[in-house]
Structure 1
Amino acid sequence: MRWRNASIAAALVAAALLLGGAVWVARDPEVVLRAEFTRLRLGAGLQQASVDVAGHRWVYAVSDEAPVDAPVLVMVHGFTGSKENWYPLAERLRGRYRLVIPDLAGWGASSRQRGADYGYLAQSERVAAFIRAVARQPGRQTVLLGHSMGGGIAALVAARHPALVDRVGLLDAAGVRFADNRFGQEVLAGRNPFAVRDVATMQRYLDTVFFDAAAKPWIPWPADGIYVARRTREAAFEQAVLDRIGRSEERFLPGEEAAHIRQPALLLWCRQDAVIDPSALDLYAARMPQATKVLLDGCGHMSLMEQPAAVADAVVALIERGQPR
């Protein structure tokens, strides 16, 4: 009887906790996504911090486990991305370098200002200000890595603020007129090929950016519906940014300015990238003859998540064996 009473009590407690969790999620559905992002951040050995810079509240992940004179790596995510995209790579680099991984102004957990410009040029100036405030330290090199849209932003920072950036890595970077593909054609037509409106378009989005099925994130219920709701709310903002970086007069500015980059550089692409066609690699390389070119096979647009070990090796080579300035 005592055992039965204990079992009943345990079941009641579990039911109460489950009900409490359901009420919590109902009141704040995004708690599910935040909890998962926290789990991923802690798994990568990163802490979370925030700072007010350039009129925005920036939320960023950071690891200070490295030696006091180790280089500082600043990692800038791409369009519709967030700091979490860098965590698989961060796991492989923490302890060796200081890592600083922000949500760009306007994206993720960082703040957004109504009516502000979030195109390449405006964001590059904000990132430069962020580097000054958080990453630039005497006696330490600053290495700037950018993925996709973030690669275009990183190219502008390296070109226009060379005193802030000692080495630069562009991963699957936007900002040049690459060979036509479906993604580029949809952008030029004024559409957002990354738009998410329901579970089907969410799956299309994941299938577009990932080639390696094993690396593709699995988003179970109820997180799938919560993610769809978030991306639906973001639709107007995403379209405004895409119009700016994909169809305005500054859409090829990163590639043009890349000719002014003198720092040791890494250009890394995946052969199966269906977003920024690999032809962009040679277009950037023509303007950056000092850059090391790396073309990975068996991955798509998300090289940093699909092949983080290979990307980590390329980043280490950039830092440890890059040409002196």
Structure 2
Amino acid sequence: MPPPLLERHQVRIIGRLDAPDTLVFVHGFGTSQQAWQAVAQAFESSHRLVLLNNAGCGAGAGLGAQRHRYLNLRAYAEDLVAIGAALDLQGATLIGHSAGAMICALAALRQPALARRLVLIGASPRYLDAPGYVGGFSDADLNALYRAVTLNYEQWAEAFAPVMMGNPDRPALALRLADSIKSIPPEDALTTLCAIFQSDHRADLAQLRQPTLLIQAHEDAAVPLSVAEYMLDKIPHARLALIEAAGHLPHVSAPQQVVEAIADFLAVQPLATPP
């Protein structure tokens, strides 16, 4: 039986178990490890893969009495570091999406030996606008979001998902995202949203020492291109892959482009992603 920590986060280890390189996938808000299915499949024959669910997500228990701990992203990063320690991971490639991207970055800062490289997809160190910085959201935007989540969570999820997913010609993608969001208890979702949208990790970027790939979709309703360019400027060893994809979840809507960007960064030949 797995240790309670690994069981709580539904940690799965798949792929080539004896591979010298390990890829760790960390999802963003509203999704679970299932969001990585197409991307992970492309690396199964060449890498050891670790997939997990962040606290309060997936089929595991909700945040419950620990909800107060998760009012900032550092708590999620501490979980990732603890998972790495439990699995004796060193020199892994951490691959994170959205909030998961910053969780990976913070984990790499907290335990540098854990991460050899970082892949950050749709990442943002701060979502709220500030003097001289365009994060993409105003105070009024966030107040409206919190109010909508509180008043009618399911209705908000059904409206939020299509905006984040983009690709209106493929409505099934947004429907799946909405269902995934609605599977999270409203109180947990609000806690996580506060941790994400109230965060400001701009000062942490310059401390990263790992080679870092930033993957940014051409059209992203949550993260403007200017944010990716800001991160590129602040992270010492970063490169930017601007991919032909729309929406904030390109690993779901355009997995082949994401796989190609990661494979180029890792200098490996991946399997083709399923159509």
Task: Report the CA distance shift for 1:159/1:215 in structure 2 as closer, same or farther (over 3 A).
Answer: farther
Instruction: Indicate whether 1:277 and 2:227 are aligned.
Output: no
Could you give the per-residue CA deviations for residues 129-158 of structure 1, whole angstroms, max 9, x where no partner exists?
Answer: 101212616xxx410011011011111011
Counterpart in the other structure of 2:110: 160
8 Å contact kept, 2:26–2:33: yes
8 Å contact kept, 1:183–1:275: no
Could you give the per-residue CA deviations for residues 289-321 of structure 1, whole angstroms, max 9, x where no partner exists?
Answer: 311101123311001112211111111222238
Looking at structure 1, the residues matched to 227 and 54 of structure 2 have their Cα atoms a distance apart, in angstroms, of: 23
SS in 2 for 1:296: strand
Which structure 1 residue ranges, 5 or more long, are not aligned?
A: 1-48
Counterpart in the other structure of 1:307: 254
Task: Report the CA distance shift for 1:232/1:132 in structure 2 as closer, same or farther (over 3 A).
Answer: closer
SS in 1 for 2:118: strand
Looking at structure 2, the residues matched to 121 and 165 of structure 1 have their Cα atoms a distance apart, in angstroms, of: 16
Instruction: Determine which structure has more spread, i.e. the larger CA radius of gyration.
Output: 1
Q: CA deviation at 1:201?
A: 4.2
SS in 1 for 2:159: helix
8 Å contact kept, 1:265–1:291: yes
SS in 1 for 2:65: coil
Looking at structure 2, the residues matched to 121 and 219 of structure 1 have their Cα atoms a distance apart, in angstroms, of: 29
Could you give the per-residue CA deviations for residues 12-54 of structure 1, whole angstroms, max 9, x where no partner exists?
Answer: xxxxxxxxxxxxxxxxxxxxxxxxxxxxxxxxxxxxx954228
Looking at structure 2, the residues matched to 231 and 210 of structure 1 have their Cα atoms a distance apart, in angstroms, of: 15
Looking at structure 2, the residues matched to 190 and 215 of structure 1 have their Cα atoms a distance apart, in angstroms, of: 25
Instruction: Indicate whether 1:77 and 2:23 are aligned.
Output: no
> Please, what is the CA RMSD of the aligned residues?
3.1
Counterpart in the other structure of 1:60: 11
Looking at structure 2, the residues matched to 61 and 244 of structure 1 have their Cα atoms a distance apart, in angstroms, of: 25
Q: CA deviation at 1:219?
A: 7.9
Instruction: Indicate whether 1:128 and 2:65 are aligned.
Output: no
SS in 1 for 2:240: strand
TM-score where L is the length of structure 2: 0.81
SS in 1 for 2:163: helix
Query: Which aligned pairs between 1:135-150 and structure 2 lie closer than 5 A?
Result: 136=89, 141-150=91-100
The residue type equivalent to 1:96 in the other structure is: S
Q: CA deviation at 1:243?
A: 1.8
The residue type equivalent to 2:78 in the other structure is: E
Q: CA deviation at 1:182?
A: 5.6
Count of aligned pairs:
259
> In structure 1, which of residues 212, 219, 239 is the aligned counterpart of residue 190 of structure 2?
239
The residue type equivalent to 2:192 in the other structure is: V
Looking at structure 2, the residues matched to 85 and 275 of structure 1 have their Cα atoms a distance apart, in angstroms, of: 18
> In structure 1, which of residues 202, 205, 210 is the aligned counterpart of residue 160 of structure 2?
205
Query: Which aligned pairs between 1:212-231 and structure 2 lie closer than 5 A?
Result: 212-213=167-168, 216-217=171-172, 227=179, 231=182
Looking at structure 2, the residues matched to 280 and 58 of structure 1 have their Cα atoms a distance apart, in angstroms, of: 30
The residue type equivalent to 2:15 in the other structure is: D
Looking at structure 1, the residues matched to 148 and 3 of structure 2 have their Cα atoms a distance apart, in angstroms, of: 32
Query: Which aligned pairs between 1:42-57 and structure 2 lie closer than 5 A?
Result: 51-53=3-5, 57=8
Task: Report the CA distance shift for 1:224/1:173 in structure 2 as closer, same or farther (over 3 A).
Answer: closer
Task: Report the CA distance shift for 1:320/1:270 in structure 2 as closer, same or farther (over 3 A).
Answer: same
8 Å contact kept, 1:61–1:83: no
TM-score where L is the length of structure 1: 0.70
The residue type equivalent to 1:130 in the other structure is: I
Looking at structure 2, the residues matched to 51 and 146 of structure 1 have their Cα atoms a distance apart, in angstroms, of: 23
